[in-house]
Structure 1
Amino acid sequence: MKFIIQREQLISSVQNVMKAVSSRPVIPILTGIKIEAKEHGITLTGSDSDVSIESYIPREEDGNVNVEQIEEGNIVLQAKYFPDIVRKLPEKTVEIESDPNLKVTIRSGKAEFILNGQDADEYPQLPTIQTDDSFEIPIDLLKGMIKQTVFAVSTMETRPILTGVNLNLSNNVLKFVATDSHRLASREVPISNTNLEFKNIVVPGKSLNELNKILVDSEETVEISVTNNQILFRTKYLNFLSRLLDGNYPETARLIPEQYKTQIQVKTKELLSTIDRASLLAKEERNNVVRLTTQESQLIEISSNSPEIGNVTEEIMAQLMEGEELKISFSSKYMIDALKAIEYDEVSIAFTGAMRPFVIRPVNDDSILQLILPVRTY
């Protein structure tokens, strides 16, 4: 195998596939990056058997030559050394060549490294997913959906299914739901041009976080294909494959209250910064608890009290307030996470009492929903 490649292109591909490489994988060869040279371009692969990422560098694109003098072949190189070497090479191009004894020479300018490679035939074959059953979604929309839900997954391994985001596609609506049983985040978007339907597809939160980092904000689309235990996200030059979590995701629809006793509308940034300030004195407590109290003439009081430290109160004006008077306590962290995920100027918050879950939505948009369980403070 041999080729000469633009160093910048190689660096960005290596960075992408490195997100799937584990330092302690189940199969030892997975500590490496697989490099495959074919006449039309170079493919790099990284995998930890839960997530696999393939990044493709075409021989040329838009008249620019990325790779030249390609002699076909493949090799696996240690991910511990290869990325650092590539990043620190002196010139704009890199020549990579392997010999029959799996020795790999990396040249750039006057620098020359020789690394011991491993046989690429021993690298596990990635499962191929039939992409007939697939649908497309704009990249920026998918990134938004991940950002608005993935923070609410559970970090506790006691219920592994809750460490993932539940994906559901029916009646041309794609829905993401995440919950750790103390809060819930959901987002739905219409999907056109597909008859595909699925439910109870649960993608690990960790996988979606990595995918979100790799996908570059653009107008392009990502193609999503699902099989019984894998999901594939595919863009022009990237394949991101993740295993799915086993088990049944809980029925979350029944958690969302139908009726409300108190409803307020507030400016998102104002509420966010007020809760953020109130939480400064709530740090000692496990939940960073903050209290919200409705008052006369559309005023809302946000307060926090920590006996050893002191207390804080601040009032903000609601745009709208209706229903019963209310005092409710909640985790400031959960509330801050929820408000940050809603990228709208105003939110509507609906309460069904001091000890029942409450729902936060953007004003005039039901596609985004955040639900939080209150905290007992007596």
Structure 2
Amino acid sequence: MKFIIQRDKLVQSVQDVLKAVSSRTTIPILTGIKIVATEEGVTLTGSDSDISIESFIPCEEDGSENVEVKTAGSVVLQARFFSEIIKKLPMDTVEIEVQNQYVTTIRSGKSEFNLNGQDAAEYPHLPQVEEQNVFRVPTDLLKNIIRQTVFAVSTSETRPILTGVNWKLENHELICIATDSHRLALRKAKVEAENNITCNVVIPGKSLNELNKILDDTNELLDIVVTENQVLFKAKNILFFSRLLDGNYPDTSRLIPAESKTDITVTTKEFLQAIDRASLLAREGRNNVVKLATLESDTLEVSSNSPEVGKVVEQIQSNSIDGEELKISFSAKYMMDALKALEGNEILINFTGAMRPFVIKTLHDDSMLQLILPVRTY
């Protein structure tokens, strides 16, 4: 195998597939990146058997030449060394040539490296995905959906199913839900689906985080293919496979209260900054608890008390308070995460009492909601 390639294109592709490569793997060859050159272009693959990423660099794109393939072929190179070498090469083009015993020469300008490679035939095959259940989402919308839900997945392995985001598709509507049993994030979106397909799967939060780092902010449609145990995201020149989590996701619809006793609307930014300030003194040990109380004339009091450190009290003007008066305590971190995920200048918070979960929504937008369980403080 021998080809000459634009260095910046190669660096970008290597960075993308590296996100799937793990140094802690039971299959030694998976610490490498598989490189395949054909007359169409060069394909790089990285995998840790949970996530697999394939990046394709076409020989020609938009009238400019990326790759000149002299001889087709394939090799697997150690990801860590290969990525560091490529980043530090002196010139804009790189020549890669594989000789006997998979020894690979990497040349750029006056710099030359020899890396010991491995036989690409030993590299595990990517999952074969039959493209029956396909739906399409604009890339920037998908990035938003991930950003607005994935932070709420559980980081504890005691209930593995909660470390993923539940994706349900029916009637051309995608509903994504994440919960760690102390809070919940929900986002709905209309999508293009063929033959009115339905699906109900749980995608690992880790996979979605990695996918989000790779995707560009474009409104180009991205194909999503779901099978029994895999999901495939197909963007331009990138394939991203992830395994799905086994098991049934809990029914979260019962968690979301239907009625409320106190409704507060408030300016998002002002409220977020007040919570942020109050959390400065909140004791880490008590999960960063902040108190919220309603006062006369639509005023809210945000406070935090830490006996060793001190206390903070701040009043902010809400836009409206309807219903019963309220005193409630909650995790400042959960509230700030939720507020950052919502879009819009104004939010509506529906409370159903001091010990019941409360719902935070953007005003006049039903496509997303955040739910938080309060904290008992005595």
Q: Please report the TM-score for the alignment, with normalisation by the length of structure 2.
A: 0.99
**Paired positions, count:** 378
- How is 1:110-259 mapped onto 2 (pairs within 5 angstroms)? 110-259=110-259
- Pairs within 5 Å for 1:201-350: 201-350=201-350
Deviations 1:272-292 (A, max 9, x none): 000000001103433100000
Gaps of 5+ in 1: none
Q: Where does residue 67 of structure 2 map in the other structure?
A: 67
Q: CA deviation at 1:195?
A: 3.0
- 1:70: Cα distance to partner? 3.2
2:85 corresponding residue in structure 1: 85
**Are the counterparts in 1 of residues 171 and 198 from structure 2 also a CA contact under 8 Å?**
no
Structure 2 contact 199–226 (Cα < 8 Å) conserved: no
User: Which secondary structure state, in structure 1, belongs to the residue aligned with residue 101 of structure 2?
Assistant: coil
Which digits, 9 at most, give the CA deviation of each residue in 1:147-205, with x for residues without a partner? 00000000000000000000000111001100000000010001135334334300000
Q: Who is 1:23 aligned against?
A: 23
What is the DSSP-based 3-state SS (H/G/I as helix, E as strand, rest coil) of the residue aligned with 2:333? Answer: helix
Q: Distance in 1 between matches of 2:43 and 2:329?
A: 53
Identity in percent: 64
**192 and 136 in structure 1: CA distance in 2 versus 1, 3 angstrom threshold:** closer
C-alpha displacement of 1:344: 1.0
Deviation of the 1:61 alpha carbon: 0.5
Distance verdict in 2 for CA 1:218–1:30, change over 3 Å: same
Cα separation, 1, equivalents of 2:95 and 2:348? 58
Moved over 6 A (4+): none
Deviations 1:325-358 (A, max 9, x none): 0000000000000000012100000000000000
Distance 1:265 1:199 in 2: 35
Between the aligned partners of 2:157 and 2:199, the Cα distance in structure 1 is 22
When residues 196 and 30 of structure 1 are mapped into structure 2, their CA distance, relative to the original with a 3 A threshold, is: farther
AA aligned opposite 1:270: E
Instruction: Quote the offset at 1:218 in angstroms.
Output: 1.0
- CA deviation profile, 1:103-131 (whole Å, cap 9, x unmatched): 10111111111111000000000111112
Q: In 2, distance between residues paired with 1:70 and 1:211?
A: 32
Question: What is the distance in 1 between the residues matched to 2:134 and 2:225?
Answer: 4
* Residue pair 1:51, 1:242 contacting (<8 A) in 2 also: yes
Q: Residues 204-227 of structure 1: CA distance to partner in whole angstroms, max 9, x if unpaired? A: 000000000010111212110000
Query: Residue deviations 1:248-298, cap 9 Å, x none?
Result: 100001100001000000000000000000001103433100000011110
The DSSP-based 3-state class of the residue aligned with 1:195 is helix
Tell me the equivalent position of 2:363: 363
User: Contact 1:38–1:70 at 8 Å: present in 2 too?
Assistant: no
Contact 1:200 1:248 in 2 (8 A): no
How far apart in 2 are the matches of 1:77 and 1:213? Answer: 23
SS in 1 for 2:142: helix
**Which shifted more, 188-197 or 321-330?**
188-197
- Give deviations 1:74-130, integer Å, cap 9, x for gaps: 000001200010111111000001013211011111111111100000000011111
How many angstroms does 1:25 deviate by? 1.1
Amino acid in the other structure paired with 2:55: S
Q: Which residue of structure 2 lines up, in the alignment, with residue 52 of structure 1? A: 52
Structure-2 separation of matches of 1:36 and 1:196? 37
How many angstroms apart in 1 are the aligned matches of 2:49 and 2:360? Answer: 37
Letter in 1 for 2:111: A
Cα offset for 1:71? 1.2
Q: Helix, strand or coil for the counterpart of 2:100?
A: coil
Q: Give the distance between the partners of 2:19 and 2:316, measured in 1 at CA.
A: 43
Please tell me the residue identity of whatever aligns with 1:86.
I
Structure 2 residue runs of 5 or longer lacking an equivalent are none
Letter in 2 for 1:29: I
Cα RMSD, aligned residues only: 0.9
SS across alignment from 2:210: helix
Contact residue 134 and residue 196 of structure 1 kept, 8 A: no
Counterparts of 1:321 and 1:195 in 2: how far apart (Å)? 46
The SS at the match of 2:217 is: coil
Question: Within 2, Cα distance between the matches of 1:69 and 1:18?
Answer: 23
